[in-house]
Structure 1
Amino acid sequence: MELILVLLLVVPTVSGCGVPSAKPDISRVVNGEEARPYSWPWQISLESFFPTCGGTLIAPNWVLTAAHCITFHTYRVVLAEHDMDKEEGPEQFIMVSKMFIHPKWNGNCASCGNDIALLKLEKSAVINDKVQPACLPQHGATLTHNQPCYVTGWGRLLSGGPRAITLQQAILPVVDHSTCSQSDWWGSSAKTTMVCAGGESKSACHGDSGGPLNCQGRDGKWYVEGVTSFVDGRGCNTPKKPTMFTRVASFIPWISETMAQN
């Protein structure tokens, strides 16, 4: 594998997006902790024969994930998932009917960008207090340096470690492009179509791929600003190698067109 490990035209905002009924606990997260159940109600688990990736519900019948997650022919999504080891009651299991990988995605070059895919669900999810869509950012929207965003998922708790059983969250401050693209950081691997966030002890890890980088807007709503893409090949917590996310705001036209035509 290479040195990295892969883990819209303005889209009308979904009414009621980005406002969880159970507020996420964002007061004391440092290196990651179990999320408050159902406080990230757009987080989905993507499964084929087993859980493979995360994803984000962006409309009742559409999920956003990473292109590198799509390696099988048949998938289902699990909504209102918290504890992977037990069925707790509110889960919704919905098959994926169509998969749309960005046409410029190159599976041999994650650092080339375009690591984004859309999944159309066989039927619409039932929107309730535990299942809600995230908001999409405006086309071209930017994040500020050190802006606190949150990664969520069931990925490994540390490089080579066990996968999380319950949904985890960690605060990942945004690293601006001018910093992230410096030669001793990610250099030319950091594209303007990506978001760098975290670093040092805080990062996404294997199994978090495809899941959201959640950032709260000035309006108080939560936006999926990034799709978890890759980390450094030496480990999830390598200094000056923040987690790399596909920058959703760069792909709003493609998202909008794909959803409108299908």
Structure 2
Amino acid sequence: MKPLKWSALALLVGSVVGCGVPEGEEAESVELGEQQSEIARGTAVPNGTYPWAVSLHTGATPSTGNVRCSGSHIAPGWVLTAQHCFDSNLDGVISASEFSANEIWASLDRTRISDTSRGQVIQGAQVFLNNTNDLALLRLASPSSAPIVQLANTIPAVNAAVTPAGWGLVNNSGTVPDNLQQGQFRVTGSNALDLFYTNVNTEEMCGGDSGGPVFTQVGGVVQVVAAHTNSPAGCGVNTGNATGSRVDVALPWIRSIIPAAYGFVWADQPSTAAYTPSSYYSHNSTGGTNTITRTAVGSYRVEMPGLGQSNGNVQVTAYGGTANRCKVSSWGPSGTALHVYIACYTAAGAAADSYFVAQYYRAGAGNPQQGAYLWANQPSTASYTPSRYYSYNSRGGTNTVTRTGVGAYQANLPGFTTIGGNVQVTAYGYGSHHCKVASWGTNIVYVRCFDAAGNPADTYWTLRYTDRHVANSGQRGAYAWLSDATSPTSTPSSWYQWHSLGSTLTASRSGTGSYTMHIPGIAAYNRTSAMVTAYGYTNTYCNVSSWFSNSSGGTDVNVQCRDATGGPADSLFTMSYITNL
């Protein structure tokens, strides 16, 4: 990659330049001008389109005045952009004359920079330079609720259509648009690090477009294939190739900087005031030691050091041979730690001390598998977009929830195209309600919730969906949907089971409502966790009664399902198993 050098004169006369804004020139040459229809000579993006696109600014606190570069929101609080936006000569060092992370402000979820009625402006906190490709990752000072975009793991073919977008200059006079611009380009080729593309009409990338997304759109799913880095002749109309740094070759680096974060516990001392759970069945991806505090009868606080952010997803199940049910009451950061509050009840709805399993998961960037989660926080609303702080969709779609009746909901997860996967659902809040998976398809999950008596009831809930992976960073484990509740033995559908070592799970029934899921080749004693959710439209519920290493070197997960009164009852269910082996 040729070093990119900046000067105001070069921009004005259309010499060969990159696409950042010149250092030291922002105040003089860059002003928010009237809305333009160019990128240059491109198209103004309709308001609300590409809400994951980011404009990067320098200046007073907080600033949206001086456009420095463009970028993409790829994980909550993380922006992918160009390295030369911070390290102008690409020498791997950010000097005093260059821009540090905290001199940059990110404007997110704003098609028009001046539209303060929506979106956020968040200061940068830390920057990571790729040093091989012209890419950088900007960590923001706080997570953003803006949608994220999917990252491609392949590059488009020659002549394929790609769309660059950004807030770069729209002419050689230094005019910056208020509105996000896009252009029509086609791929002309690539090398080991870069993607090359040229304009279809008269569009051209300009200063300030650096780091902006170059993306494809197939079936409504947007994938960023490159971050724009250089244009052949400034804002002039030409037939030369523009250049973008390939995202697919940088995915291992991106994932190493922004990995999935997760933690889980098996709470095995229900009446103890405070304790450290067994390390065999407790884990924290940051290396911290999880602890559990009993705050009242049936009420617990799980503390996970290092995981404190206002996002992610929590799933909970009761454990053991009782008819108790457990749910998540709330979760959130306390300093750098995550606090998860759990409430457990008898089948009749009375608070009760109980064993339980709790899992927390926060997705990383560039996850190649399908995955989503959400917190359904408006139980009586007909249709809504749940809180984006607690919502994730690996395809970049916006999850929504529709209420179809009392206690009946439909979670819409746009962008997914593969049948199968695994779904876990947990009721949320301080009442004794419980929720389950009713059914799911390619991109829709049906949820049913009930009160303690088994009647349909509106309530909050959380949902987690994974496909060909489980809720940890190493993608190690297994899942299955028990699709036969009455046969002595069965093999779950291959569409709805997965094993990280490629083995096949089987199931057995030992009595009414009593099942064992057999997971070959994975032992149960090294930081493992099992989660279960009942499946179907009735008011049955299921718990994990135990899991242990079997005589064949695998793991058996025992599940007990019950009716509304707490009596044994046959039921379908979904099970997810995590291991760190």
Q: How many angstroms apart in 2 are the aligned matches of 1:196 and 1:212?
A: 13
CA deviation string 1:47-68 (max 9, x = no partner)? 1212211010001121100001
Alpha carbons 2:42, 2:202 under 8 Å: kept: no
Pick closer, same or farther for the CA change 1:30–1:164 going to 2, 3 Å.
closer
Superposition deviation, residue 260 in structure 1: 2.7
Q: Could you tell me which amino acid in structure 2 is paired with residue 255 of structure 1?
A: I
Alpha carbons 2:196, 2:241 under 8 Å: kept: yes
1:81 aligns with 2:110: yes
Alpha carbons 1:54, 1:153 under 8 Å: kept: yes
Q: How many angstroms apart in 2 are the aligned matches of 1:220 and 1:44?
A: 20
Give TM-score, length-normalised by structure 2.
Answer: 0.34
Q: How many angstroms apart in 2 are the aligned matches of 1:119 and 1:229?
A: 16
Unaligned runs of 5+ in 1: 8-28, 105-113, 178-190
1:57 aligns with 2:86: no
Pick closer, same or farther for the CA change 1:45–1:248 going to 2, 3 Å.
same
1:254 aligns with 2:244: no
Give the CA RMSD over aligned residues.
2.4
CA deviation string 1:40-88 (max 9, x = no partner)? 111011112122110100011211000011131222211122223x333
Pick closer, same or farther for the CA change 1:143–1:48 going to 2, 3 Å.
same
Pick closer, same or farther for the CA change 1:197–1:159 going to 2, 3 Å.
farther
Alignment size in residue pairs? 210
* Residue matched to 1:183: none
* Residue matched to 2:220: 220
Alpha carbons 2:170, 2:176 under 8 Å: kept: yes
For 1:125, what is the secondary structure of its paired residue? coil
Superposition deviation, residue 142 in structure 1: 2.2
Alignment of 1:41-56 (within 5 A): 41-49=51-59, 50-56=66-72
* Residue matched to 2:336: none
* Residue matched to 1:5: 17
Instruction: Report percent identity of matched pairs.
Output: 26
Q: Could you tell me which amino acid in structure 2 is paired with residue 55 of structure 1?
A: G
Superposition deviation, residue 118 in structure 1: 0.4
Query: Of the two structures, which has the highest relative contact order with CA contacts closer than 8 Å and spacing of 6 or more?
Result: 1
Pick closer, same or farther for the CA change 1:99–1:225 going to 2, 3 Å.
same
Q: Could you tell me which amino acid in structure 1 is paired with residue 223 of structure 2?
A: Y
Alpha carbons 2:18, 2:234 under 8 Å: kept: no
Q: Could you tell me which amino acid in structure 2 is paired with residue 44 of structure 1?
A: V
* Residue matched to 1:180: none
Q: Could you tell me which amino acid in structure 2 is paired with residue 98 of structure 1?
A: Q
1:145 aligns with 2:149: no
* Residue matched to 2:171: 158
Unaligned runs of 5+ in 2: 7-14, 20-38, 60-65, 87-97, 261-285, 287-581
Alignment of 1:240-251 (within 5 A): 240-251=239-250
Looking at secondary structure, tell me which structure has more strand per residue. 2
Q: How many angstroms apart in 1 are the aligned matches of 2:131 and 2:43?
A: 36
* Residue matched to 1:209: 210
Structure exhibiting the larger radius of gyration computed from Cα positions: 2
Alpha carbons 2:77, 2:143 under 8 Å: kept: yes
1:132 aligns with 2:132: no
Q: How many angstroms apart in 1 are the aligned matches of 2:185 and 2:41?
A: 9
1:229 aligns with 2:241: no
* Residue matched to 1:94: 122
Q: Could you tell me which amino acid in structure 1 is paired with residue 160 of structure 2?
A: Q
